[in-house]
Amino acid sequence: MSLVGKKAPLINAPAVVNGEEIVENFSLDQYIGNKYVVFFFYPKDFTFVCPTEIIAFQNKLTEFEKRDVAVVGCSCDTEESHLAWLMTPQEQGGIEGVTYPIVADPAKVVAQKYQVLAGEYAYDEEGELYFDGIPVAYRGTFLIDKEGKVRHETINDLPLGRNIDEMIRLVDALQYVEKNGEVCPANWEEGKDAMKATKEGVSDYLAKNKSN
């Protein structure tokens, strides 16, 4: 079931912050009332698509921060693995220079809460416990508002990298809606027309944008 419209699941887990410091009890609760959050999952440290996404988020971090958005990553690796990867130069396959928090979820509890785990535990006919699937997180991305409610989620399969600019567009759309009380139509971007959520509003918008 989708988490959209629901309170973001609580987490309390180790994380690496500022690219160098392990904290034991990291929680998204610290942002409630203060910041929006883009909370994203990636499959695994020391892989190939994952560093391109993680570094792309870092490259756009200023854009998120000026919109009052905290970026937080998470995978099912340990905090020690995160730290080792963060200390590895980018030209050697690392993610050195990433400063936003990266949560460690080796018990897969956070991934399970956010429904992004690429498999599940099960029992075979002999009663033996096994994992059906791959014990990593899909590429889940969650936009959480200042009240701690999930307003958007996407979940990509493992080989499909996400578009970071699209997350910025969605932040802009959410903030526009909150500020202006209008809704954002298809392909809306900052500076384009929005519309009122009425039949007249739709008609006016379509008439005004007929050529598009």
CA dist 196 to 1, 107, 166, 177, 185, Å? 29, 45, 23, 10, 10
> Is the CB of residue 51 less than 8 Å from the CB of residue 95?
yes
Backbone angles phi, psi at 32, to 5 degrees: -60, 130
Query: Looking at 50, 74, 76, 184, which residue is catalytic?
Result: 50
> Is the CB of residue 105 less than 8 Å from the CB of residue 111?
yes
> Is the CB of residue 139 less than 8 Å from the CB of residue 120?
no
184 is catalytic: no
Task: Just list the catalytic residues.
Answer: 50
